């Protein structure tokens, strides 16, 4: 699947999709073909900035490692003796569960059920797995709520500037 995803983003994938869409027998196919060209143009611009792609990957790995440390530390404080490798497996598979549950807002329920099943593989009782899930939810809230408040403040300022362009308090 990873190889297919990789190839779909390259020129060969562009050609295959372009060929498939050009065979459509409707009037809207030109709109699809234009959108397809725009998507591949944006992808090439993104991938041309290799340092940004590498930096993005590094930030992702850092977040994943922090999540692994969170699992390991939380379970250790609960008296569960797990290795770092086991914490890596739990966090990795938990991220896969959350990714698969993308259609569920916040992966509510999916994270909890996933952690109960994943921790069961390492003989961690369901109550401790659920407690781990709640700890992870608390960490999400600690980061997420201030971020949402900051976003609301920024967007509120932009909306005010749009609605009241002549207000002297909006000028900087």
Predicted confidence at residue 92, as pLDDT, reads 93
**Positions of the chain with pLDDT under 50:** none
Q: Give 54-71 pLDDT, tens digit per residue.
A: 999 999 999 999 999 999
pLDDT of residue 75: 96
Tell me the pTM: 0.67
Compute, in degrees rounded to 10, the torsion defined by CA atoms 23, 29, 32, 38: 90
| φ, ψ at 128 (rounded to 5°) | -75, -35
Does residue 124 contact residue 116 with C-beta atoms inside 8 Å? no
**21 and 33 Cβ atoms separated by less than 8 Å:** yes
49-84 core/surface letters (b: 16 or more CB in 10 A; e: else)? eeeeeeeeeeeeeeeeeebbebbbebbeebebebee
């Amino acid at each position: 699947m990873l190889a297919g995803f990789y190839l779909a983003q390259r020129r060969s994938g562009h050609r295959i999709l372009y060929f498939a869409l050009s065979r459509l027998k409707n009037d809207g196919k030109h709109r699809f073909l234009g959108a397809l060209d725009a998507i591949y143009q944006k992808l090439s611009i993104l991938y041309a900035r290799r340092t940004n792609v590498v930096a993005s990957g590094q930030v992702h790995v850092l977040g994943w490692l922090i999540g692994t440390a969170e699992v390991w530390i939380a379970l250790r404080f609960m008296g569960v003796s797990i290795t770092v490798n086991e914490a890596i497996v739990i966090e990795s598979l938990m991220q896969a569960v959350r990714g698969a549950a993308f259609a569920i807002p916040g992966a509510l329920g999916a994270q909890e059920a996933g952690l109960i099943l994943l921790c069961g593989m390492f003989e961690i009782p369901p109550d401790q797995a659920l407690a781990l899930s709640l700890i992870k939810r608390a960490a999400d809230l600690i980061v997420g709520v201030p971020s949402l408040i900051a976003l609301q403040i920024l967007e509120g300022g932009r909306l005010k500037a749009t609605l009241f362009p002549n207000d002297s308090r909006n000028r900087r």
